[in-house]
Amino acid sequence: GQQLNQSPQSMFIQEGEDVSMNCTSSSIFNTWLWYKQDPGEGPVLLIALYKAGELTSNGRLTAQFGITRKDSFLNISASIPSDVGIYFCAGQRDDKIIFGKGTRLHILP
């Protein structure tokens, strides 16, 4: 079946550093979404991207929909302790949504 390859699986960074993660697929998607899951909670939608090439920001978060429609990346600038969690990408085509396996972000004091 369709798969999303999300990388890296986990990251350990210092507070204040910038973070970059991405998702790639062999399939084309119409919409890319990025979610964050805090420990013990459900995923929360951060950013939705609807057009190839689209670059969207939400505070310190920036995400882009790849030109080929097969990839997307998420950047977090100047990380803070509350950025800790698991970040999921998701791609949608027609009625199917496929989730990546997540990037677990750890922030060292």
Report in angstroms how near the CB of residue 89 gets to another protein at its nearest: 10
Nearer to another protein, 35 or 73 (CB): 35
* AA identity, residue 19: V
Report in angstroms how near the CB of residue 17 gets to another protein at its nearest: 25
Rounded CA-CA distance 58/39 in Å is 21
Nearer to another protein, 51 or 78 (CB): 51
Q: Which residues bind another protein (CB under 8 A)?
A: 1, 30-31, 33, 35, 40-45, 48, 88, 90, 92, 94-95, 97, 99-102
Chain centroid to CA 68: how far? 17
Nearer to another protein, 6 or 79 (CB): 6
Report in angstroms how near the CB of residue 19 gets to another protein at its nearest: 19
Report in angstroms how near the CB of residue 49 gets to another protein at its nearest: 9
Nearer to another protein, 33 or 105 (CB): 33
